[in-house]
Amino acid sequence: MRTFRSILGQGNSCYYKYAKPTVISFREFHVFRDIPELRKHRRQLLLDGKSVGLVPTMGALHEGHMSLARQAATENDEVFVSIYVNPTQFGLNEDLDSYPKTWDADIRRLTKLDEELAQSGKGRVTTIFAPTTKTMYPTLPPDSSLPGTGSFVTITPLANLLEGKSRPVFFRGVATVCMKLFNIVQAERVYFGQKDVQQTVIIKRMVKDFHLDTAVRIVPTEREKDGLAMSSRNVYLGQRRRKVGIVLHQALRAAESAYVMGGRGRDEMLALAWDVTNKMSEQQDGLAASERAMFEVDYLSLADPETLEEVPMVDEQRGAVLSGAIKMLPLEAVNHGEILGLGGDKVAVRLIDNIVLQPTDT
Amino acid sequence: MRTFRSILGQGNSCYYKYAKPTVISFREFHVFRDIPELRKHRRQLLLDGKSVGLVPTMGALHEGHMSLARQAATENDEVFVSIYVNPTQFGLNEDLDSYPKTWDADIRRLTKLDEELAQSGKGRVTTIFAPTTKTMYPTLPPDSSLPGTGSFVTITPLANLLEGKSRPVFFRGVATVCMKLFNIVQAERVYFGQKDVQQTVIIKRMVKDFHLDTAVRIVPTEREKDGLAMSSRNVYLGQRRRKVGIVLHQALRAAESAYVMGGRGRDEMLALAWDVTNKMSEQQDGLAASERAMFEVDYLSLADPETLEEVPMVDEQRGAVLSGAIKMLPLEAVNHGEILGLGGDKVAVRLIDNIVLQPTDT
């Protein structure tokens, strides 16, 4: 068992102790709420030659996050997980307040994961950074209006495409908070899920353009058995919307199949995807209000993997990204005894997914 | 004499050798054009416990820069000087192309300074970082249009005030390039001159808001004997414009005198400054075209030291910043044998200056 330098009572850092139901030993994470003590800890690791992998999260941890942390543990001595729900990435009418905050469950998940890692003899989850908003935004209050006031990182035009079209403030907020987190933790590697493909492209661009001394690692999307991409938002999907929500993945898979078969043209590929969503739409339309789950397609895209600009044809040396977003609408009528999601399926839920088409001519 | 690890021929780094006229020894700086070798060098210093102070410059080094480097050498083992003329801070109609590029003279100055430092037994100037634009802006070409494309740091509303009013793209460019430089060098301390007061406030804000792990040190403005603030732009001032250009400093000193005498009100202080500039304007107006040097006052400001917002009254606990900008207009007529500045005094030259009014109630 490893020992931790005690930092209890110093500054704003503390231990968070979690006792397992069947106690063999306590597992303790460093939990930092503020920066100076985290820096001290991290600098010592640097001087000791220990590497750090950072997994930035907004909490509500699920299997997707675990897979990021697991990957981080295979490549680093210590895994730091940040948990911070960043206000500047939520538009004024978006769901900041309703974002699930699940600290105890998050710690349980991380503890369980770390027990697994303890067996594998690789890196461990050691540190949680859970700052306050005053720490993250020390001067002006976080602003998610446009243009808004504050200190921001903007990545143009990448941040305005795809997801950025319907969420114009989102990637400014993401880039800004990630710049802060990266500077605070100074990890050798940072981990992001492939599921949020535009985020991965923007973070890679930010790291490159601003010469951040960290490697960006992208981890494949974790999926449910039927292929639904894992997401913190899935908790809002009751059984009925959950079942229909798979349509996005199915649509992208249909388009991918054209690529696998040698197709390269945009129209050919995306037509297959639209066929899938249209068919599902019609099917739902034909059901009673108490049986159907309606949705809208925001976009289906075939884009360059680095610029995210729409392409008429896949360049075989660059590959492409197939991606899409749908909005699962609130249920129109709910049945007695029906299994509902968090919030009773009363709010629209935006789902995104993507498939990377690898270059074939390299 | 110190030895340098030879890095000749590795990557894009190289030595720049400068032989003094009376050769006792060669002084050699590490000169890095690219980032990976600089990082390697810098990381070794970190592991060796050596501190680094960064002096970011655009070349055209003058006594003001030397005073930054001198200060850096008293607080760090090694001083890194970056020399890079950053295109994103020059507006589309500004003087990027005419910015003086004086590599040999810069190296001579640094060599001379380092000889002085060698005597004092403190830190030394060891490293010059002189990147290409492709290195600094690795994806999209540098863009100084608004809103423009690229990866930027924006600091709002600070960047829109004072200098930012007439140069709307300037501080976005400065913050962006400084973020890059800071990430590349990862200095313990970075050095800026008090002369560019808005720049110092914005850099401090950026470091605070983005949690950059570096300390910002502000070094007092170096002045000519008559009080003119040293600036790379002063080379554009011939004898006639140079003599009139002192009016800005004189105006600020007049306003400061009111503060020293116990005055706290904005009107009272700024009126004294305007008296000085108005009087000089009238005086020049009365001279023949071949004798006068006309100028325009862009602004005279009394502002809060952290927000740079105009204040009606100096808060004795916060102090204030008195600052101003004037534009020295091109000479209307030039005399035979007259001592002219670089470019023949044919272009307007913007001069800025400031005086910090220290808090009196602390």
Helical H segments across A195-325, by residue range: 197-209, 239-245, 247-260, 266-285
Instruction: Give the pLDDT score at B279.
Output: 98
CA distance A127 to chain B (A): 19
| Structural tokens at position A162 | 């795809």
* Chain A contact set for B138 (CB, 8 A): 208-209
**CB nearest to A151's CB, from B139, B151, B205:** B205
DSSP state of A313: B
Q: Give Cα A146 to chain centroid, integer Å.
A: 23
Whether B36 and chain A come into contact, CB under 8 Å, resolves to no
**Whether A150 contacts A94, CB under 8 Å:** no
- Closest among A338, A293, A301, A333 to A320, alpha carbons compared: A301
pLDDT at A75 over 80: yes
Residue type, B6: S
Whether B44 and chain A come into contact, CB under 8 Å, resolves to no
Which class is domain B232-357?
A: alpha beta
Q: Choose the catalytic residue: A65, A211, A249, A336.
A: A65
Instruction: Give the pLDDT score at B362.
Output: 64
Whether A169 and chain B come into contact, CB under 8 Å, resolves to no
**CB nearest to B138's CB, from A152, A154, A209:** A209
**CB atoms B35 and A211 under 8 Å:** yes
State which residue of chain B sits closest to A149, comparing Cα positions: B156
Instruction: Give the pLDDT score at A56.
Output: 98
**CB atoms A152 and B151 under 8 Å:** no
Whether A207 and chain B come into contact, CB under 8 Å, resolves to no
**In this predicted model, what pLDDT tens digit does every residue of A222-248 receive, in sequence order?**
999 999 999 989 999 999 999 999 999
CA distance A209 to chain B (A): 6
**CB nearest to A152's CB, from B154, B186, B213:** B154
**A3 compared with B162, residue with greater pLDDT:** B162
**A336 belongs to the catalytic site:** no
Element (H, E) at B194: none
| Structural tokens at position B304 | 């809060």
**CB atoms B139 and A212 under 8 Å:** no
Q: Give Cα B93 to chain centroid, integer Å.
A: 20
Terminal Cα-to-Cα distance of chain B (whole angstroms): 46
Fold of B13-219: Rossmann fold (3.40.50)
Whether B180 and chain A come into contact, CB under 8 Å, resolves to yes
Collapsed DSSP state (helix, strand, coil) of residue B28: strand
| Domains A13-219 and A232-357 belong to one CATH topology | no
Whether A211 and chain B come into contact, CB under 8 Å, resolves to yes
Residue type, B191: Y
Q: Choose the catalytic residue: B30, B62, B65, B249.
A: B65
- Of the residues A209, A307, A309, the best mutation for testing chain B's interface (the one with the most B CB atoms within 10 Å of its CB) is A209
* Chain B contact set for A179 (CB, 8 A): 210
Residues of chain B with pLDDT under 50: 1-26
**CB atoms B211 and A154 under 8 Å:** no
Distances (CA, A) of B350 to B94, B99, B110, B232, B344: 11, 13, 27, 11, 16
**Whether A53 contacts A75, CB under 8 Å:** yes
CA distance B212 to chain A (A): 6
pLDDT at A64 over 70: yes
Count of other CB atoms within 10 angstroms of residue B49: 8
**In this predicted model, what pLDDT tens digit does every residue of A101-159 receive, in sequence order?**
889 999 999 999 999 999 988 899 999 999 999 999 999 999 999 999 999 999 999 99
Count of other CB atoms within 10 angstroms of residue B136: 21
CA distance B338 to chain A (A): 47
Q: Is the ipTM of this complex over 0.85?
A: yes
**Distance separating alpha carbons of residues B149 and B137, to the nearest angstrom:** 12
Whether A86 and chain B come into contact, CB under 8 Å, resolves to no
Percent of chain A whose pLDDT exceeds 90: 86
Instruction: Give the pLDDT score at A155.
Output: 98
**Whether B103 contacts B59, CB under 8 Å:** yes
**Distance separating alpha carbons of residues B274 and B257, to the nearest angstrom:** 13
Instruction: Give the pLDDT score at A362.
Output: 64
Whether A156 and chain B come into contact, CB under 8 Å, resolves to yes
Instruction: Give the pLDDT score at A174.
Output: 98
Q: Where are the domains of chain B?
A: 13-219, 232-357
**CB nearest to A213's CB, from B138, B139, B183:** B183
- Of the residues B208, B209, B214, B307, the best mutation for testing chain A's interface (the one with the most A CB atoms within 10 Å of its CB) is B209
Whether B45 and chain A come into contact, CB under 8 Å, resolves to no
State which residue of chain A sits closest to B140, comparing Cα positions: A209
Print the SS3 string covering B282-345. HHHHCCCCCCCCCEEEEEEEEECCCCCCECCECECCCEEEEEEEEEECCCCCCCCCCCCCCCCC
State which residue of chain B sits closest to A146, comparing Cα positions: B156
Instruction: Give the pLDDT score at A106.
Output: 95
Per-position DSSP letters for A45-91, written without gaps between them: HHHTT--EEEEEE-S---HHHHHHHHHHHHH-SEEEEEE---GGGS-
Location of structure tokens 């939520």 = A90
Instruction: Give the pLDDT score at A27.
Output: 60
* Chain B contact set for A208 (CB, 8 A): 138-139
Q: How confident is the model at residue A3 (pLDDT cuts 50, 70, 90)?
A: very low
**In this predicted model, what pLDDT tens digit does every residue of A312-343 receive, in sequence order?**
999 999 999 999 999 999 999 999 999 999 99
- Closest among B43, B58, B186 to A212, alpha carbons compared: B186
CA distance B208 to chain A (A): 7
Element (H, E) at A97: none
Q: What are phi and psi of B13, to 5 degrees?
A: -90, 160
- Of the residues A32, A183, A202, A207, the best mutation for testing chain B's interface (the one with the most B CB atoms within 10 Å of its CB) is A183
State which residue of chain B sits closest to A40, comparing Cα positions: B213
Whether A141 and chain B come into contact, CB under 8 Å, resolves to no
**CB atoms A180 and B47 under 8 Å:** no
Percent of chain A whose pLDDT exceeds 70: 92
- Of the residues A35, A183, A211, A309, the best mutation for testing chain B's interface (the one with the most B CB atoms within 10 Å of its CB) is A211
Whether B26 and chain A come into contact, CB under 8 Å, resolves to no
A-to-B residue pairs, Cβ atoms closer than 8 angstroms: 75
**Whether B296 contacts B247, CB under 8 Å:** no
